[in-house]
Structure formats: C-alpha cells, structure tokens
Amino acid sequence: MTVIAIDGPSGVGKSSVSREVARRLGYGYLDTGAMYRAMAWLCLSRGVTDAGDVVEQVRGADLEISTDPDVREILVDGIDVTEEIRSPEVSTNVQVVSAVQDARDELIQMQRDVIAATAPGIVVEGRDITTVVSPDAPVRILMTADEAVRIARRAKENTGGADAAAIAATRAQIADRDAKDSATTSFLTASDGVHTLDTTHITFEESVAAVLGLVEAAQSAQAAAGEQGTDNG
C-alpha cells in the first residue's frame, strides 16, 4: 500500500495533478477538501454554526466519497452534494467545520480509514496530509506557485476567464481562505522530509511528471533498502 500525500494552497494545480497521477499509477484518489466542504454544506443547510453542534453533525453524518479519480461524487446521508459543495457560500464557510479541532479529528480519522481501505495505493490531497493525516507517507509533496499565478488559475476555473473583475474577486477569496486555514494547518512551507514542487513556471504535464518521478525514486529507494536488509540478514 503506497500513499502519495500532496498539500498546497488553492490554485497550485494539486487536484488535477493528483487525479492524473492516480490514473497513471492505477491508484485511488482522495480529495480531503471535498470532505470538509461536504460537512460545511451539511452544517449550513441545517443552520448549525456552534462548535459543539458542528462536531455532532460531523459525527452523525453518513459521508461517502468516491476514490475513483474519474468519478467526482460525494454523498451526505445519501444526498449527492457533488455540485453543491462547490458553491461560493460553501467555499467561504468551510471554516465552520475546519476551524473546529474536534470536527477536524473526526474527519482525519475518516480520511485515514479511506486510505487504509484503498489498494494498491492512493493519492491524497489537501492541506494537512503531509503533516497530520499521513506524515509517514513514502512520498510527501507541497505544491506551491506564485500568488498571481494561483489567482489567475482559480479565476479561470471559476469563471472561465481572468479579467480584472474575476481576478479581484478571486484574490479576495483566496487570500481570505489562506489566512483562515493557515491558523489551523501549515500548508505554505514544507515540513522536514516534504518535497516542494513549484508549479509557477511549469506545465500540467511537467507537474505530473515531477510527481511521478518522486514516486519512482521513493519506490527505488524502498526496493534498495529491502535488498540491503535481505543481504544483511
């Protein structure tokens, strides 16, 4: 079972790169951000904002998420919320859940359960995968990019364009979310042992190739260590 952990802020390309890496390796894929969004959607739909009540909502929810990189689907209590969790309202209120540590702990355990149940491997992306969810993963990567590039990419993704109005709205959204999330997770600088992949000046294909190269290197190192252990034995 191989875990590839990828963290990073919005607009670095981690979701699209993670999905493609999973496809090429025949691995599963887990978007942990979608899990937080789904629980935020649940709380918002029920008018829940108190921390204690948020935790109870998370604990009581039946959350199902696809690990097929070609299937975008997430269900909450049997309701398909795949599209709803991408709404501006959910995007700006994810911290209703992510800022509550007990709720985070519940979701982290769910994520670890999904990881453990997915063979032969899984690519997991989010903001605390390399440091909290799977700190022992053989491949840990922090994807970064210049803020201007991140904003332009996300504006184009959200609106189909990158005009001045779209850029301004996206800049406020990204800056606000990064500021809030950085209070609970460290995803702007790499921890020890975590590879930094700057996607500012490289293409999507080059980003995928870079991740695959790190995976290959890790697998080669593991194989060499195994052979050395056999020789010593």
* 10 belongs to an annotated ligand binding site: yes
* 9 belongs to an annotated ligand binding site: yes
* 15 belongs to an annotated ligand binding site: yes
* 87 belongs to an annotated ligand binding site: no
* 17 belongs to an annotated ligand binding site: no
Half-sphere exposure of 161 (CA within 13 A, CB side): 5
- C-alpha 30/C-alpha 33 separation (Å) is 9
- C-alpha 219/C-alpha 158 separation (Å) is 37
* 233 belongs to an annotated ligand binding site: no
What are the residues whose beta carbons fall under 8 Å from the beta carbon of 72, sequence distance 6 or more?
66, 82
* 16 belongs to an annotated ligand binding site: yes
* 14 belongs to an annotated ligand binding site: yes
Tally of CB atoms within 10 A around 135 = 14
What are the residues whose beta carbons fall under 8 Å from the beta carbon of 80, sequence distance 6 or more?
73, 74
* 3 belongs to an annotated ligand binding site: no
Q: Position of tokens 């199902």? A: 64
Helices (H), the chain: 14-25, 32-45, 51-60, 88-91, 95-98, 101-116, 147-159, 164-181, 204-232
Could you give the angle at which helices 101-116 and 51-60 cross, rounded to 10 degrees?
20
Q: Write out the binding residues.
A: 8-16
Which residues line the annotated binding site for ATP? Answer: 8-16
